[in-house]
Structure 1
Amino acid sequence: MPKESGVSTDKHSKTCVVLGGRGFIGCALVERLLKLGNWNVRVADSYRSPELNPTESILTDAIASGRAAYFQVDVRDKSQIVEALRGVSVVFFTDSMDLFPQDFYLCYKVIVQGAKNVVKACREGRVKRLIYNSSADVVFDDVHDIRGGDESLPYSGQLWDMVADLRTQAEALILSANGTDELLTCALRPCNVFGPGDPQLIPLLVNMVKSNWDKFIIGNGNNLSDFTYVDNVAHAHICAEESLGAQMDTVSGKAFFITNLEPVNIRDFAFIFVERLGYPRPFINIPTHVSEHIFSFIKLIHRKSDSKKLDPSVSIFKLASCTRTFSCLAAQEHIKYSPVVSQKEAMRLTVDSFSNLAVEPAFMRYGCRDEPSKIEKQLGGGQVADILLWRDEKKTFICFALLGFMYHWFFLSGNTFVSSLAQLLLLTIALLCGHHVLSSSRYGSTIPRLPSSCFEISEVDVRSLFFAMKCMWDKVESLIKSLAQGEDWFIFFEVACFMYVFKWIVSLYLVQTIGVALVFVFSLCFVYEQYEEKVDEIAVIVYTIASC
């Protein structure tokens, strides 16, 4: 039953029904029809109410003014379809479900039985034109490449995908109904539809990079594919309706491929979305035959586990492993189709609409977190952590410069350690005396005197220092006792290896090791905090391989 009283009509307007009007393609089609101004639209879908978003002001206003109405229709029930189609001349039939469950019976009832019911309802209601939104997948067999395929391609006949096979049956049913009871039909086959609100392709890419497959490129990455912006699909439906209205024999009973007319490299297409949303670009190539075995194994696991949700990597493999490009010459010639949105603009609009999926920059993510990071906890969360993790850049730079000066003074100056220490003490005394003289000068010096507290060590600090030394000594004593007892050979080999490596480093590469360690300690801690999850994943993989 309609949720609104009806649709206003006048002699210059046409009335249509958009079945599946709350789906991805259906919403775009409804909005485009209303923008044209000469259409009254009945939006039909299985939802109890349209559940309009704040961004759908066009449809909201149209319902309020009577140019649009909503009907709750389940395509499995022909009587509901008949009620929605009463008095209209045009039906646009899109899938009422964007994400089909892995349930053959339900999908069959919605797609195939739904198509039968729609055809019967159109014939009973004397509907003149029926345009079905099919898919380019109906000619794809999941094995062979398609380059510039046209409408002469036969149905694949391969049960590689349940939904594609059922859509093939639905398309054949609708096209075969052409000419019966004055009903004219045609079908459109868009390829890889995307756009704002996309429930499949873009979320699939994002889920891919979130599921530990973000480092891999399937195949050589040079496969081409056609993509279709959702507004271009909506425009193609309107073009098809106008051509059917002109009683064109070259359109009725025919199917047409619809694309953006700009085949693109699948890898580049994915990279644009992934990088603009802030995710890392994949960098490891997996040969196609290797990835095929991997994804076959994944599908087997899902089948064995009776999982209703297919791993996103399996779907992305279908897209990335083959070339699929189609010719739109027939659509351009017979229904006068041409894209209204370019590929570049379509990708920009789509990325902007999915800003909620963007990953936050690492420095923002860790700068605003409520709880300390793992490395901050390991460093104790005090001044040392603040310095090594660059919480205060000025303080960190001063400490690094001071340590660099000490490193040069003791190890690169060419003097012995004792003479370097003596010279450092002499320089310190000279600076302190000079500071005292300047601060005591009566010649207008503004240098403040150092307070005596700078040369004092509090009792708490002394206790902490001695407590730390005692804990260290206890650990060393415990280790020596364990070695003396000779019962733990693992500790013995650990200590022996450490002493050997330490002796080798001290005798040959002490200066270089200290310099490298100085640089690394001020960089690796900061880097690890930004990418600790990725580093931990790599560490687990390395540990697993090493333990095998």
Structure 2
Amino acid sequence: MVIDENPRTCVVLHGRGFVGRSLVLRLLKLGNWIVRIADSAQFLHLDPAEQKSVLSEAISTGRASYYHVDVCDKSDVRRAIEGSSVVFYTDAANLRVHDVYFCYMVIVQGAKNVISACRQCNVKRLIYNSSADIIFDGSRDIHNGDESLPNPGKFEDMLSDLKAQAEALVRCANDYDGLLTCALRPSNIFGPGDTQIVPFIVNQAKSGWAKFSIGRGENMSDFTFVENVAHAHICAEEALRYQMVSVAGKAFFITNLEPVKFWEFVSLILERLGYQRPLIKLPSRMVWYILLLVNWMREKLGSRKYNLSASAHNILQLASRNRTFNCSAAQKHIGYSPVVSLEEGVTLTLDSFSHLANDSSFLRYCDSNEQSKVDKLLGSGKVADILLWRDEKKTFTYFLGLVLLFYWFFLCGRTFISSAAMFLLLATFILFGYGILPSMIFGFSVQRISLSWFEISEMDMKSITTIACFWNRGMDIIRSLAQGEDWSIFFKVVVSLYFVKLILLHSLTVAIGAALIFAFTSFFVYEQYEEEIDGLAKILYDGMKNLMGLLKRNIPASMASFLQNYKILHQDKGHTTVKVQQ
């Protein structure tokens, strides 16, 4: 770091906020600035990591100073910026986002007070940190959007509305009393100290909602590392210093110039922190209707909390819409280009959030080579892929097909035999009709059914072998019952058949329908909560074991003696059989 002998004085309003902190450090590292940090706290409290940093050194040498400023108080603002040549106006860190009046006073009225103070104190340049959210209303995708996009007529998000008003005030103040202004519109800022994106994603993971993604998962978004935002502010100040007509009064989009799929970015954050990446895709329209229903129920129940749909709508649209921006204007007119790549930014961010890393069972999902118990149980083949929803479209197709067959054979009102005959007749007509179709229909080629479709593959033969093994195991159980030697197997079979009898006695149709739903849900749920379910099963097993021990201690002595003699006799027969075989 080279310290300039004639440094210039600047003010970073809300300098202890997310963007403000990064901007202060970057200005101090340049060495040609005296930085005034202005924020709402009464005193400057350095974090433990800042005790021996560039900031603490600058404060001790006088290159940095702190001012308590309430932007709603004009005198506070004037006192802080008096004698400075540049004001960087960044976002406040302590916004009460559900208090509309407070947010209006800080964002809109604060912008008016800052502009007025800058004009009165002869400040030359004012750079405002706006947001790309001010041109996004969620009703349409934005592909490579530039500064010509108009602001929406109506905002679903209150903060975006207020930010748009503040930006308009700053830009309209350009070239009055010698004040030059411009605004920067970063998209989805993240980095060390982030209070929104990363904490929100982690909170969703801890609550279990991160297992779901909204939409098809193909929507692209632009993210911006916080240090790149700070660098863009300095680039804008240098451009304004030369009174460039193409910069003054303008707004510029700022991104990392690396658009990514929104849900890939979320998955990357989750996986590197040890959480499970989203597995289930939910249609965005269905989620929106659910939010409307929840909000309606809250209103009917008389809840006085803030409207749920307003805040959730912004998150929903961000997660399901395309939002990419063109930064060519910023590159051309203010000389902006990212100084930290997206990959490096993610690494630096997650290193700073290591305290939020998960050390629980989700870590096993980071290792794609580790096989779950239920996957092993289902044979790790096609059946496992279908019942564990590895491919949602394929699984849903199979589920829909089985539901249709269930309706055809059990719910349509016909007997099972007549349904089977109708099904075979229909299949015959379909196969024969498909076979006599011409090779071309209206310019589209008709693919012929290959004979291999009706043959049994080697994989299917393995499945048949598995079925044969199950059959042989069943025969072994029947053989043991016929010999009358194993009472435990007898009781297990009797209890199992009795429960089957109860189920079928109630309704065979209900039993098959329940089995169908159970097959497509239980295995998937067990894989997601394997350790939790195993823990519960262990508790129940230990409880049953203790109960059996209690029963054994309280049964009559004659019954205990009979069971003990039976056990010894059974063990002796087993040893005799082994000796004969040897």
Report the TM-score, using the length of structure 1 for normalisation: 0.66
**Are 1:318 and 2:317 counterparts?**
yes
Asked whether the 8 Å contact 1:224–1:263 carries over to 2, the reply is yes
CA distance in 1, matches of 2:362, 2:356: 18
Q: 1:362 to 1:130 in 2, by over 3 A?
A: same
The match for 1:15 is 9
The match for 2:254 is 258
Q: 1:496 to 1:49 in 2, by over 3 A?
A: same
CA distance in 2, matches of 1:364, 1:269: 18
Deviation at 1:323, TM superposition (A): 0.7
Match of 1:306 among 304, 307, 315: 304
Match of 1:141 among 137, 140, 143: 137
Q: Unpaired runs of 5+ in structure 2?
A: 365-471, 506-524, 538-582
**Are 1:101 and 2:97 counterparts?**
yes
The match for 1:361 is 360
Deviation at 1:353, TM superposition (A): 1.3
Asked whether the 8 Å contact 1:208–1:313 carries over to 2, the reply is no
Q: 1:253 to 1:280 in 2, by over 3 A?
A: same
Letter in 1 for 2:106: V
Matched residue of 1:43: which SS?
strand
Asked whether the 8 Å contact 1:227–1:259 carries over to 2, the reply is yes
**Are 1:28 and 2:22 counterparts?**
yes
Matched residue of 2:49: which SS?
coil
Q: Alpha-carbon deviations, 1:19-39, whole Å to 9, x = none?
A: 010000000100111111111
Q: Alpha-carbon deviations, 1:424-444, whole Å to 9, x = none?
A: xxxxxxxxxxxxxxxxxxxxx
Asked whether the 8 Å contact 2:288–2:313 carries over to 1, the reply is no
CA distance in 2, matches of 1:526, 1:230: 38
**Are 1:195 and 2:196 counterparts?**
no
**Are 1:296 and 2:297 counterparts?**
no
The match for 1:44 is 38
CA distance in 1, matches of 2:504, 2:287: 47
Deviation at 1:186, TM superposition (A): 0.2
CA distance in 2, matches of 1:498, 1:135: 63
CA distance in 1, matches of 2:478, 2:73: 92
Asked whether the 8 Å contact 1:218–1:320 carries over to 2, the reply is yes
The match for 2:236 is 240
The match for 2:66 is 70
RMSD: 3.4
The match for 2:577 is none
CA distance in 1, matches of 2:268, 2:72: 40
Matched residue of 2:177: which SS?
helix
Pairing 1:522-533 to 2, within 5 Å after superposition: 530-532=531-533
Pairing 1:477-492 to 2, within 5 Å after superposition: none
Deviation at 1:291, TM superposition (A): 1.6
Q: 1:176 to 1:502 in 2, by over 3 A?
A: closer
Q: Alpha-carbon deviations, 1:130-168, whole Å to 9, x = none?
A: 000000011111211111111111111212111100111
**Are 1:267 and 2:268 counterparts?**
no
Q: 1:292 to 1:409 in 2, by over 3 A?
A: closer
The match for 1:59 is 55
The match for 2:200 is 204
Asked whether the 8 Å contact 1:363–1:530 carries over to 2, the reply is no
Q: 1:195 to 1:535 in 2, by over 3 A?
A: farther
How many residue pairs align between the two structures? 397
The match for 1:351 is 350
Report the TM-score, using the length of structure 2 for normalisation: 0.62
Deviation at 1:245, TM superposition (A): 0.5
CA distance in 2, matches of 1:183, 1:130: 7
CA distance in 1, matches of 2:272, 2:266: 10
Q: 1:269 to 1:497 in 2, by over 3 A?
A: same
Letter in 1 for 2:18: F
Q: Percent identity of the aligned residues?
A: 52
Deviation at 1:96, TM superposition (A): 1.7
Q: 1:124 to 1:262 in 2, by over 3 A?
A: same
The match for 2:424 is none
Deviates more, 1:230-239 or 1:272-281: 272-281
The match for 1:394 is none
Letter in 2 for 1:47: A
Q: Unpaired runs of 5+ in structure 1?
A: 1-8, 366-407, 423-475, 477-493, 505-523, 537-548
Asked whether the 8 Å contact 2:220–2:324 carries over to 1, the reply is yes
